[in-house]
Amino acid sequence: MDDHQTQDLVKELVHRLISAESGGGGGGRDAGGALRFAHRLLSSRLAPAVLPDEHALAESVKRRLAASGRPDDALAFADLHAKLSARSRPASLWPLLYLLDSLSSHRRAAAAASCLPNLPTAAPPRAAGAGAAAAAAAGGKPALRAPGAPPGGVVLVSKDPDNIREIALREYTELVLDETEVSEAALVRDVLYACQGIDGRYVRFDKGSDAYDLPDGVRVPRSTRTLVRKLCELGWLFRKVRGFISDNISRSPSDAATEVGTVAQAFCSALQEELSDYYKLLAVLESYSLNPIPTPGSDSGVSGNYLSLRRLSVWLAEPAVRMRLMAVLVDGCRGLRGGAMAGAIHGHAQHGDPTFQDFMGRLLRRVCSPLFEMVRSWVLEGELEDVFAEFFIVGQPVKAESLWQEGYLLQSDMLPAFISPVLAQRILRTGKSINFLKVCCDDNGWADAATEAAVCVGTTTSRGGLGYGQIDALEALVVEAAKRIDRHLMDVIHKRYRFKDHCLAIKRYLLLGQGDFVQYLMDVVGPELSEPANRISSFHLAGLLETAIRASNAQYDDRDILDRIKVKMMDHGDGDRGWDVFSLEYDARVPLDTVFTASVMKRYLKIFNFLWKLKRVDHSLTGIWKTMKPNCIVSSPFYKEGTNIRSQFVSVLRKCQVLFNEMNHFVTNFQYYIMFEVLEVSWARFSEEMDSAKDLDDLLLAHDKYLTSIVEKSLLGERSHGILRNLFALFDIILQFRSHADRWFERIYELQLRGKGKPKSKAKAKSKEVDSWVDGGRKAMIQLAGELFRKMGEDLDSIAKDYTSSLDAFIAQLPMQQHVDLKFLLFRLDFTEYYSRVSSNK
């Protein structure tokens, strides 16, 4: 159809409309003015001030029909729209729907205007304008128009009858072009370059201001410059993210791995994937930027997919948010590696925006994949696959005996926030248990236990079974694996290596709980230990130890346990006796040396030396009692002599007996306290905790409590040095009393033999002084005996005084001790309150 035909049709349409309005007459209206108005409308480029959204417009129509009480019409409209949409191209129904909706709105407005009284009918634009002018000229007021009523003629487009909007836009465009020497298309192209980190023709990166900007010499409006700066912020963020990726990836593989490790490599890979989507968007925008930007007044048809700066700001709004987040993550992860990096990224994931959470979850699943694989390998296989020191568990080379305590440690700075410290400790113990079984116990049963744990929680044992967001599944796997593997480890320790039997053997032989063995050992090694330490052979003592074992019920113990008991001679100096350096040790082999470490055996040695000295004191008092038995005293010739010598003899012996009874009372009660209230009670508690231990840490803790209880209650702790010195002073006084008693009664025995005229004993060769005692006959013997008894009395008084002073100091310090069981020791020693009354009377 050519232009002439179109003009003829428009002219005919206008004439028909005017004739219909005038009732058949053609001169009722200005046909020429109406025709010119119609041509101006058809040639204008006015467009609806709404976006072409077909779905929203259809929903608006349906809501309006439903609100006006016509639900059936709303359903019929929805059905018709669905059928037309299925048979039409996308978005092709919007012009039709908009036209129908506009006509409906015009009809409603006309109906509302007809309901208003005394309002004239609207005339065509020119007639209405002329009537208004005539009314004004006549001094009257122009006719009123109802609010919302159309001015007549064609609907909506008559809002701009003289194309004022088009004229204003054209004038504005001319003003902008006068102020701008760079076209908007060129700026759009440069902004897209900047978003890729590339300098454009006008927009370049300024290192001084650290930003993309237009040079000051480029003349553009201030609003345009501000908008360009805002859009180019995305390019600045892109440079930062791309720089981080290139610093960690764009180098040799060995150097990159050494610097950042697998977690950082996964982070860079995730960022690179996000940038790939960003590159795709920029490619689309590049294609849009090739379409020319329409200007007001241009008549040529222009595609709607053009790209202006303001359209570009809408397109780049969401990518800018993601890029800004990636830049924040990059800044927060610089200098971090492994679990620390994963924890820093996780800290930014606590956000309420679902889109934000989805982005961070997708990123963290990639980043945490190596970390979760390390956890899975450690928990189920005991393998520490951490080449670049990224895991929160670190291993170090140690001996087998120190594997459990020092072989694997927890690095708190590498622990991510989404793994709690309790869960991390459980992860550490599970892997340690597997390695302990493999290295120290030479056991492979842990593999079945790990497989059963994985099957029980429904997790695969292969790689990739766990990931970020599955913390509950990870915790369930760790708990189940720890329970099964620790149970298997306890079975191996108790059944295969007989841990409790070895603990009992240490109690019986190192803590001197086997009474008959201790008594035989004291008897056979006593004379040997009285010699200087540098003259004693450890091989000879080992033979004496074997003799004591064979002479006691210890011979019926397991040979493997007896072979572990050995003699140990401690370091000694000048003047030390065998009693000062003799000790026993127990050979705890792998894996028992994990519990009985070198430091633990030193504590056992400390306890043994204390108990050995206590047993020696008790053994010495027993020897004194054998010497001072009543039948030995009554049968003595001095008991049958005259009153003077007899009274001296009886007085000295009474003093000896009184002092012996005091010492025996103290040693007996103290030994009872140590052997029963300390050792037996501590063993009973340790035995219960040993049976209820669920893992090796519980077993180690129970054993440490057992040793600590013995040390504290035996006055061997750090706070008991003062009272321990007084206790050892009491022991030394008792041993001094035994030494004096042996010497005294040996001399008395020699005097008795000389008085009876019997052959001299072997002591004659040792002491020439004794021969001189009896050379003077009976009178001289009586005189020498009197002198001996006087000297014995003086020595006894001195020993008794020292003993009483030390005992009072010991008893006075007992109430100040921290442990409650020591109060019962005070009650046993002073149950009659004798020492308390004596101390108060001084």
The three-state secondary structure class of 336 is coil
Dihedral pair phi/psi, residue 721, rounded to 5° = -65, -40
- pLDDT recorded at residue 257: 44
The Cα–Cα gap between 191 and 230 comes to 10
> Please, are residues 674 and 714 in contact by the beta-carbon 8 Å criterion?
yes
Instruction: Give the pLDDT score at 394.
Output: 92
Residue with tokens 């700001």: 313
* Dihedral of alpha carbons 203, 208, 209, 210, sign: positive
Q: How many CB atoms lie within 10 A of CB 149?
A: 18
Nearest-angstrom CA–CA distance, 792 and 660: 14
Distance of CA 498 to CAs 50, 493, 559, 561, 704, Å? 87, 6, 14, 10, 19
For residue 440, give the DSSP letter.
Answer: T
Query: Which long-range CB contacts under 8 A does 440-444 form with residues at least 24 apart?
Result: 440/400, 440/403, 440/404, 440/590, 440/591, 440/594, 441/489, 441/492, 441/493, 441/496, 441/497, 441/591, 443/488, 443/492, 443/496
- Encoded amino acid at 183, one letter: S
Q: Is the CB of residue 607 less than 8 Å from the CB of residue 716?
A: yes
Give pLDDT, residue 152: 39
The CA distances from residue 622 to 88, 526, 578, 625, 655, in Å, are: 118, 13, 20, 5, 17
Give the integer Cα–Cα distance in Å for 259 and 537: 61
The structure tokens listed for 47 are 């467009």
User: According to the model, what pLDDT value does residue 156 have?
Assistant: 41
Residues 6 or more apart whose CB falls under 8 angstroms from that of 441 comprise 489, 492, 493, 496, 497, 591
**Residue ranges for the chain with pLDDT beneath 50:** 26-29, 116-158, 252-254, 256-258, 299-301, 758-776
Number of residues assigned to the chain: 842
CB burial of 187-221 (b: ≥16 within 10 Å; e: otherwise) equals bbbbbbbbbbbeebebbbbeeeeeebbbeeebebe
Q: In angstroms, rounded to a whole number, what is the distance separating the alpha carbons of residues 788 and 795?
A: 10
- pLDDT recorded at residue 209: 82
Which amino acid would we find at residue 596?
F
Which CA distances in Å does 213 have to 180, 209, 320, 687? 16, 9, 17, 79
pTM higher than 0.75 for the full model?
Answer: no
The Cα–Cα gap between 427 and 474 comes to 10
